[in-house]
Chain A
Amino acid sequence: MKAIRLPRRFAWIVAVALLAAAAAQAGRVPLPQPQQVPPEIATSCVEDTDVMRHKHFEFILHQRDETMHWGIRTKRHSLKNCLNCHVRQRPDGSYPKHTDPDHFCNACHEYAAVHIDCFDCHFDGPEKAAK
């Protein structure tokens, strides 16, 4: 009996150890790393950063209706303005498309499985990149 029990316990310990190692090494999808705005452009967002992380869509969706129906064209929560700061030129001079992994608005959305249709219509880069 003893001869059988020992290897069983051993196998169990090995299994747990293996699982833990796998989880630590390769088990997680890496957290999204949205592209940083260089400090010479700006050091803070239009609202506190953690507020933006949680609520950015509320600001832009509100602004959208204000602009469409009331002609309010303040810059602060305007979608164009987000892109002016947040979509940066690559070293090769090109700009990321909204479908590219390095587009600011794509990084988290891909991770969180959020789909937005805004760029079906809206230009996806800073205004100065528009032809």
Chain B
Amino acid sequence: MKDDKARDQQAQLAPAEAARRRFLAGVAGAAGVALAPGVLLYGVAGAKAPDAPVTDQVRWGLLIDTTKCATECDACVTACKTENGWGQNEVRSRPDQRAHWIRKLTVKDRSSGHVMSMPMMCQHCETAPCADVCPTGASFRRIDGIVLVDKHICIGCRYCMMACPYKARSFIHENLEGQKPYAPRGKGTVESCTLCVHRVDAGEQPACVVACNRDGHKAMVFGDLRDPNSEISKVIRARGSTQVRADLQLNPGVQYQGF
């Protein structure tokens, strides 16, 4: 009975009230604990409560050390396929039409002959060209920095695929079966790396990062770029990082080291 009452109250929240709650939750998320004047201790970015909205106090980022990325290894790609269920059920599409949420590239510097290997996926730009050109608002940047496609409103026009300088997006050309419950995918919509948003919301790391660490290469670090004490921030502060096509000034959340 008591449960019923609480449930009813929640169900009847007016939109304004819901918005107010969201705003308050955002403010609460922003509050650090003052230890001493000028010293702030920010909560470690762990699992957020399921009913808490995401906030801009976090910016998710991924750092990839190409010097640790092995040419013959594709553990990150396999893990992404398994987690998100792509690359197995597109049976009628041509190879160049199939999904590629993440791919391995081998890059050679023409003048020095230096060869390196790296994974390429959605770079989760701060000023994302895909979101800019999207006519329906389906491509958007979530407030915590993750660039997503809201497939519910994607009309499949593929402007975003043209706009993306990283060739990170793909389009589904056929009816699919056997999708993962956490990664719905279907014909006529565009998709790309979600940074495993369903895992991140649960306080876990993206599947590619877990796989890379498990295989001992440890070439990928995932974390909060806003938190100066996160591992990713510390490593970038100590050793610097490179953004692919930095000249475009998109400020990607995915950054690289070693080239």
Please give the residue numbers on chain A whose beta carbons come within 8 Å of chain B beta carbons, in ascending order. 47, 64-66, 68-76, 80, 83, 117, 120-123, 127, 130-131
- Interface SS majority for chain B: loop
Partner of B54 from A71, A83, A122 at Cβ < 8 Å: A71
Is B52's CB under 8 angstroms from A72's CB? yes
Is B179's CB under 8 angstroms from A121's CB? yes
Is A121's CB under 8 angstroms from B186's CB? yes
Partner of A120 from B150, B175, B180 at Cβ < 8 Å: B175
Partner of B180 from A66, A75, A83, A123 at Cβ < 8 Å: A123
CB neighbours (8 Å) of A64 from chain B are 152
CB neighbours (8 Å) of B53 from chain A are 66, 70-72
CB neighbours (8 Å) of A130 from chain B are 180-181
CB neighbours (8 Å) of B157 from chain A are none
Cα(A26)–Cα(B54), bound, Å: 56
Query: What distance in Å separates the Cβ of A55 from its nearest Cβ neighbour in chain B?
Result: 10
Is A71's CB under 8 angstroms from B186's CB? no
| Cross-chain pair count, CB within 8 angstroms | 59
B167 within 8 A of A: no
Cα(A80)–Cα(B187), bound, Å: 20
Query: What distance in Å separates the Cβ of A129 from its nearest Cβ neighbour in chain B?
Result: 9
B148 within 8 A of A: yes
Query: What distance in Å separates the Cβ of A42 from its nearest Cβ neighbour in chain B?
Result: 13
By beta carbon, the residue of chain B nearest A129 is B181
Is A71's CB under 8 angstroms from B150's CB? no
CB neighbours (8 Å) of A83 from chain B are 181
B226 within 8 A of A: no
Bitwise, B50-74 to A at CB < 8 A (1) or not (0) is: 1111100000000000000000000
